[in-house]
Amino acid sequence: MLDDLAALVAAARPADLKVILETAALSAPEQAAAAAVAAAAGVAFVKTSTGFGPGGASMEAVSLLRAVVGPHCGVKASGGIRTPAQALAMVKAGANRLGTSASVAIVTGSF
């Protein structure tokens, strides 16, 4: 799996590759293992959710992903982020990018 993912990273250059882990469908050890492989392969970002899986981003998953991938790989929290408080919590947990369909409402407070 590592070699396949590293080949995709190389093929995508100069564009960055983001890997979606669908963390709500994985146990914490599975999340950590998947994030470790993705980071070792050189992906630019790991992402918590497609938005179509069994759940969205959680602070626990974001925190775990950040701890595993370190500072040189991005963490995108995505799925279920609908309020400023949720967005801030994800950033505090380690996300440096958010995916949300409620961006305007979060920024303007019009939810």
* C-beta separation of 24 from 58 below 8 A: yes
Query: Tens digit of pLDDT for each residue in 29-62?
Result: 999 999 999 999 999 999 999 878 888 899 999 9
Pairing of β 45-47 and β 97-99: unpaired
**The pLDDT of residue 85 is above 70:** yes
Query: Tens digit of pLDDT for each residue in 3-16?
Result: 999 999 999 999 99
Q: What pLDDT is recorded for position 111?
A: 65
**The pLDDT of residue 76 is above 70:** yes
Retrieve residue 1's tokens: 């799996």
| Domain total of the chain | 1
Cα(21)–Cα(85) distance, rounded to whole angstroms? 24
Q: Which distant-in-sequence residues (6+ apart) come within 8 Å of 83 by Cβ? A: 102, 106, 111
Give the start-end residues of each E strand in the chain: 18-20, 45-47, 74-78, 97-99
Query: Which residue range is the domain that position 27 belongs to?
Result: 2-108
Q: What pLDDT is recorded for position 109?
A: 79
The domain that holds 86 is classified in CATH as 3.20.20.70
